[in-house]
Amino acid sequence: MATSRQSSIKGTRLRSTSSGPLAPETPEEVADAKAPRHVVDHALARREAILEIRRTAGFNFDGADTDPYLLRAAKYYGQITERLCPICTKTELNELTYVYSVELGHASGKIVKPTDLPRMATQYGFLSIYTIEVCQGCGWNHALVSYVLGDGKPRKAARKPRDLA
């Protein structure tokens, strides 16, 4: 009996842990709060995923697996780039910038404009930034780069507003 095929290419999931740059215990000496540090470029993983899709003629890629919230966020909050999608080669890619931090409290994981990052870097100690590319046409999405901003001084988490459940 034939088994169902599982896609080897999955959407990018960003998972955080309580350790690492999201929740440091000791202050860090930072020369410039606005300068990215702990930079991780995901270009090799992106290239590998694209080559795998092309090698299998798209058999392992199903754009329907893309989270509908990610597509909606890219449509309304994404920054349109001039780069075409590497999969469908028809649609321009949208870039989303997510910010995660224990210091943000309930607002951790929100989408921000890249122009807001320098201001936020001086207000918070540790901000983990993730830039994601999304294609509205075929559903392609992948992490481009992740890095840390902030002045290196840990702060308490922001309080949850009373009007939030």
The domain locations on the chain are 35-149
81 and 100 in contact (C-beta within 8 Å)?
no
Burial of 135 from C-beta contacts in 10 A (0-12 / 13-18 / 19+): buried
| Distances, alpha carbon 107 to alpha carbons 98, 101, 157, 160, in Å | 11, 9, 10, 9
The confidence score (pLDDT) of residue 62 equals 64
Position 129 pLDDT exceeds 80: yes
CA 71, CA 11: separation in Å to the nearest integer? 12
48 and 151 in contact (C-beta within 8 Å)?
no
15 vs 82, higher pLDDT = 82
Q: What is this structure's pTM?
A: 0.77
CA 110 to mean position of chain CA atoms:
10
The confidence score (pLDDT) of residue 106 equals 84
Render pLDDT for 148-164 as a digit per residue (tens, 0 to 9).
998 888 888 777 777 75
